[in-house]
Structures are given as structure tokens and as C-alpha cells.
Amino acid sequence: GDSVTQMEGPVTLSEEACLTINCTYTATGYPSLFWYVQYPGEGLQLLLKATKADDKGSNKGFEATYRKETTSFHLEKGSVQVSDSAVYFCALRSGGYQKVTFGTGTKLQVIP
């Protein structure tokens, strides 16, 4: 079945450092790919998405590129802020009824 594998956390960075959170997937067909973010005490929010190969999703300074050849969708940000501290989930949507499958999440902590 479909699956998403994310790098384990927690990831601790200093403010203004570069961020990469790795995500790879296994799916039949051509899934859509997503990054969701969960801030402390809040629900899941869509951060960015890409629906076909080579698409780049971007939002709030975060970017991720749909790489079909490596089945990856790594999340990147050039300069993180304390307010980016949250748990980040990689997800894919595929199949006839477009089931959404999540990774296990990566906790990011940014320290001043």
C-alpha cells in the first residue's frame, strides 16, 4: 500500500539556520503530495502542495519540489524563525477515492 517516510526528529536549529526535512513516498500511480504543519495546541494546517512531477509548492518561505525520479518531496527553508517551531507532516493523496496517507511527523524546534 501507499506509505510516507519522514526523517525522525526532533530537529533543533538556531534561528536563521537552513532547514531540510526529508520525505520519501511509495505509491501507485501519480499521487499528489502535501506538507501539513501542526503548531502547538492547534490543528493540522496545509502548508504547501504539489500535484505533479517537477511542481514546486511554496508558502511562508517554505518550499518543496515533487521529484518523481527519487520519489521525494523534501521540505526546505532558507532561514527559520522561532515561530516555525511545530510538527511537520508529509502526506500523499492517491487512489480512486484519493485517500490521504501521512508520515509520522518531524518535530522542529527553533531556538533564538
Count of residues that interact with other proteins, criterion CB under 8 A? 20
What is the DSSP secondary-structure string of 39-82?
Answer: -TTS-EEEEEEE-STT-EEEETTEEEE-BTTTTB--EEESS--G
37 or 80, CB closer to other proteins? 37
Distance of CA 38 to the CA centre of its chain: 11
**HSE of 82 in the Cβ direction (CA atoms, 13 Å)?**
2
Return the residue of 59, 68, 104, 111 that touches other proteins, per CB under 8 A. Answer: 104
Q: Which residues from 46-75 bind other proteins, rule CB under 8 A?
A: 46, 49
What x-and-dash track marks residues 2-41 binding other proteins by CB under 8 A? --x-----------------------------x-x-----
Nearer to other proteins among residue 71 and residue 102 (C-beta): 102
